[in-house]
Amino acid sequence: MFNPRPLSATLFGTVAAAAIGLGSMTMADEFDLSNMSDDQKAAFGEAVRAYLLKNPGVIFEAAALYEEQQAAQQARADETLVADNLDALYNDGYSWVGGNPEGDITVVEFLDYRCGYCRKAHPEVAELIAKDGNIRLIVKEYPILGEGSLISSRFAIATQIVAGDEAYKAVHEALIAMKGNPGKGPLVRLAGTLGLDGDAIWAEMESEEVTRRISETRALGQKMGINGTPSFAFGDQMVRGYVPLDSMLEIIAELRQNG
């Protein structure tokens, strides 16, 4: 007998609707085997099986539709998350702000310096800022890939506290490209090449302020369900994962059109 249990309720309903010619997702969503007798279920299962063997493409069509529905549901949930956390995202008072501080669109990036996709995204985010000229960029230090990530973020934040935003930008650029494991020697030398006091920055790394900033950003990320980097907020939208430049430009254009 055909067993519908491996399919989700929505997906099975879609296939069932196709099998009996309903062609309507509304009716498919309402499809309920519990209203059938055992004999009816058996007969219906055989009918569905026969239909799928004759029309296997229906499975792929239904799966694609189901994925679209899930993506739309996630997008709606993410819009709510952004709306509920606007101040923490866009006005926390400490995250570095680049691009055009008066830009009409704000882009927030949660990043980890040891993340390969963050490194891949970095030049494309920079090109977006350069091409557009009217985007405010906020960097959220979100170290989630181990001790090396945490040391790198602490060093970047300590640089901002000790030497200011321009120094942070220089260190940020260097860390995202840095090869090898970060440690006191490499990081102090790195600071020296940028004309910064590496020992002072290193001493600041374990301060309460650095810890507070990392803890608050982690709490925000967890609240928003961010479990990978890079993750972005574009205006009122969340985008999870690496985004190529062309897609970022499309998102920005859509935000402006709808804004």
pLDDT at 22: 44
* pLDDT at 37 exceeding the cut of 90: no
pLDDT at 7: 46
* Helix (H), strand (E) at residue 110: strand 105-111
φ/ψ of 140, rounded to 5, equals -105, 115
* Helix (H), strand (E) at residue 173: helix 165-177
Where do the domains of the chain lie, and which CATH numbers do they carry? 9-81 (no CATH), 86-258 (3.40.30.10)
Tens of pLDDT, residues 196-212: 999 999 999 999 999 99
- The more confident residue out of 92 and 15 is 92
Provide, rounded to the nearest whole percent, the portion of the chain with pLDDT above 70: 84
Average confidence (pLDDT) over 215-222: 96
Helix-, strand-, coil-residue percentages of the chain, each rounded to 5: 65, 10, 25
pLDDT at 24: 42
DSSP 231-255: EEEETTEEEES---HHHHHHHHHHH
Given a contact cutoff of 8 angstroms between Cβ atoms, the answer to whether 163 and 196 are in contact is yes
Length of the chain measured in residues:
259
Amino acid at 140: K
Average confidence (pLDDT) over 45-64: 78
φ/ψ of 118, rounded to 5, equals -65, -40
Provide, rounded to the nearest whole percent, the portion of the chain with pLDDT above 90: 63
pLDDT at 26: 44
**Angstrom distance (rounded) from CA 255 to CA 259:** 6
pLDDT at 3: 44
